[in-house]
Amino acid sequence: MSDMAVSGSRLAGAKGSPDTSDAVRYADNRGEYRQMLPIKQWGLVGIELRKQFFRPRTYIVLAATAILPPLIAAALAVSGSTRPERVQAMLITPSSSGLSLWYIVLSSTEKFFIPLAVALFAGEAIAGEASWGSLRYLCAGTYSRTQILISKMTVAAILCIATIAILSASSLATGLAAFGTAPLPVTVAKTVSLASAVGQLGGTARVATIYSVPTAIWKLLLSTLYGGTLEITIFTFAVLASVIWDRPIVAIGAGIGLAVVSWNLQTDAIPGLDFFAKYTPTHGIGLWQWMFVSPALYAGMAGFIIKQIIYGGIFLAAAFWWFIRKDIYS
Amino acid sequence: MDKPTIEVRNLVKRFRNGVIAVNGLDMEVCPGQVLGLAGPNGSGKSVTMKILMGLIRPTAGSVSLLGEEVRSGGNALGRVGMLIDGPGFIPHLSGLTNLQLAAATCGRKVSSTDFEEAIELAALGKMIDRPYKTYSHGMRYRLGLARALLGHPEVLLLDEAATGLDPVQGRAVREKVVEAAEDGASVVYAAHQLYEVEQICTHVVIMQKGRQVISGSLHSILPPDGSTNLEQVYIDAVNGSRLGGGLGAEI
C-alpha cells in the first residue's frame, strides 16, 4: 500500500471533508495543486467528442485535408496552370480564376479522398472503442445501446462534415490567393456545331460559360453538398461494418471497399455487371458539373440523392438492429 | 439474512457455433458477501460475468441485479462496478481524463470526495496526467480497480483483478475488495489463483465446462480441521468432473 500512501499525500486534503464543491484538487506533473473542472454529466456526445477530438488520427486527417488544396495548387503551378485541364466533362484553366481550384479539388477528391476520410471516422465509431477494450465498460453503464450508437455516429458525422468544410474552405482560400478573384470560366469538353458555338475554333467550337464569383461560389457549394450525399451511403455502411466487426481496419476497409467496388462497377471494369452500374452508390455523382453549363442541367440529381437516402436508411437500420442485439466481448 | 442482490437462475449461454459456455448455473450473492468464481480457462467465468453486466444475452435462465432483471442500459447497472477482461481505457487520454469519463458514464453519482478516493486508489502519482498508453501493467490494473470502485457501487464484479500485479499491489487489491464487502457491497471475484479466493471469499462457485461443480460457503466446502485447502478441493472437483462423475452437485 506504499504507492497509495504516497499518492494520498499529493491530494489537496479534501478527502473526508464535506462535499461542498464538485471541483477536485490534485497535484499535477510539477507537484503543484490544480483544480480540475467539476465532475458532471456531459452527455454522451460531449464525452465522445472529448475522446475523438484529442486523437492524433483526427488531427492528421484534418491537417491532411487542409494541406491537400495547396498541394494540388502547387502541382498545377508546376505543370502549367495556364493550360486547360480536363476535369471530367469540363475544361478548366486553373489560372483563369481562383475558384477553379475548388472545382478541381471537388472533382478529384470525391472518388477516393473524401470516402477514405468518411470511412475512417465512421468505421472507427464502434470498432475503435472495441479495439481499446473499452466498449464493454461503455455498454455496461446505464446508457442504452441506441444512445451509444447515436452519440458515436453524431461525432463521426461532425468530423466528416468538418473534413468536407475544411477541404472546401482551404480550396477557396488557396485558389483565391494563388489565382486571383476573376470570374470562373467553365468550358464543356466536347465539340459542338458552329451554329450554337459561342466561340469559334476552326470548324468546331467549345461552349464556355463564365460565372461571377458569387454565382460560382454558390454553385460550388451546392455541388459540394450534392457530392456529399454519396457519403451518407459510405458513412452508414462503414458504421454497419463497425458494429459487426470489432476491428477498425476491417470496418474502414469495408467503407473504402464499397466506394472502390462501386466505381469499378460504374466504369464497366467487371464485364457482365454493367446492368448493375446505375444502382451503385457512386453512379451519378458527377452530375453536379452540369450545373455549370448554361442553362444548368439538374437531370438525375434527385434520383442520386434519393438513392443515397435509401441505401443509408437500409445500412443504418441494419447497424442499429445488429448493435442492439450484439453480444459484447471487447 | 439480507435479500440477494445478485440472483442467477438456471443460466444457459449457447453460442451460435453450438458451444455451450454456461450450462445451468445457479448462484446468489447477498450484501457483504464475496463470491469466488473459480474454474479452468474456458469454464465460463468471464461469460457469466458479462451476462451479469448485460453485455451478453443469455440463451436461457434469468439474471437479476438489485431486484431488477439485467438488461443492457438498465438502471441497476449504474450501481455496479466492474473490472472484467482487463482495464480497457482510452489510450491517448490521461488516467485522470479516463476516470472523469468513467465518472460521467457509470450511471451513479460520483462526488468530488469519491473521485479523490479513486485517484488515491489508482496511486499513479505524477503519471495520472500522462496518456494511459504509457502506463505499466500494474498501473493500468490499479486504474481499472479505481474505476470499478468509483462512487462506492453496491455490486462489484471483478475478473482476475489482481492478475500480473506484484504481491504488495495484489494484497492491496484484495484488501480493497474485503473493505468494499464490509461496507455492504456484494462482490463476485473470479480468479485462477485459489489462494486469493480462499483469502477473501465467503462463498465459492467452481465451474467446469460451463457447469458448476461445487458451490457453497467456504466454511461448508473446506473441512474445519484444515486438512485440505481449496486448491485440492478444486483439483479433485475438476478431475472428478473430467472423469464424468465427480462431485457434480452442490456441497
- The span from the CA of A177 to the CA of A173, in Å, is 6
pLDDT, tens digit (0-9, with 9 covering 90-100), for B60-81: 999 999 999 999 888 999 999 9
Q: Which CATH architecture has domain B6-193+204-242?
A: 3-Layer(aba) Sandwich (3.40)
Reported as a pLDDT band with limits 50, 70 and 90, residue A137 is very high
CB contacts of A140 in chain B (<8 Å) are 53-55, 77, 80, 82
The answer to whether B148 contacts chain A (CB < 8 Å) is no
CB contacts of A11 in chain B (<8 Å) are 116, 119-120
Three-class DSSP labels, chain B: CCCCCEEEEEEEEECCCCCEEEEEEEEEECCCCEEEEECCCCCCHHHHHHHHCCCCCCCEEEEEECCEECCCCCHHHHHEEEECCCCCCCCCCEHHHHHHHHHHHCCCCCCHHHHHHHHHHHCCHHHHHCEHHHCCHHHHHHHHHHHHHCCCCCEEEEECCCCCCCHHHHHHHHHHHHHHHHCCCEEEEECCCHHHHHHHCCEEEEEECCEEEEEEEHHHHCCCCCCCCHHHHHHHHHHHHHCCCCCCCCC
CB contact under 8 A, A138 and B93: no
CB contacts of B128 in chain A (<8 Å) are 26
Give the DSSP per-residue string, A44-65: HHHHHHHHHHT-HHHHHHHHHH
- Residue A199: what pLDDT? 41
pLDDT, tens digit (0-9, with 9 covering 90-100), for B129-149: 999 999 999 899 999 999 999
Is residue B226 a contact partner of residue B195, using CB atoms and an 8 Å limit? Answer: no
Reported as a pLDDT band with limits 50, 70 and 90, residue A236 is very high
> What interface predicted TM-score (ipTM) does this complex get?
0.91
SS3 B60: strand
How many angstroms separate the CA of residue B25 from the nearest CA in chain A?
A: 19
- The span from the CA of A169 to the CA of A70, in Å, is 11
Nearest to B105 among A1, A143, A325 (CB): A143
Residue A328 has pLDDT above 90, yes or no: yes
- The span from the CA of B174 to the CA of B172, in Å, is 5
pLDDT, tens digit (0-9, with 9 covering 90-100), for B150-188: 999 999 999 988 877 888 888 888 999 999 999 999 999
CB contact under 8 A, A327 and B75: no
User: Which chain A residue is nearest to residue B82, measuring alpha carbons?
Assistant: A137
H or E element, residue A27: strand A24-27
CB contact under 8 A, B113 and A50: no
- pTM higher than 0.90 for the full model? no
CB contact under 8 A, A23 and B112: yes
CB contact under 8 A, B77 and A142: yes
Lowest mean pLDDT among A198-202, B8-12, B23-27, B154-158: A198-202
Per-chain mean pLDDT for chain A? 84
- Is residue A60 classed exposed, middle or buried when 0-12, 13-18 and 19+ CB atoms within 10 A define those classes? exposed
CB contact under 8 A, A14 and B113: yes
Average pLDDT estimate for A218-227: 96
- Kindly list the domain boundaries of chain B, sorted by start residue: 6-193+204-242
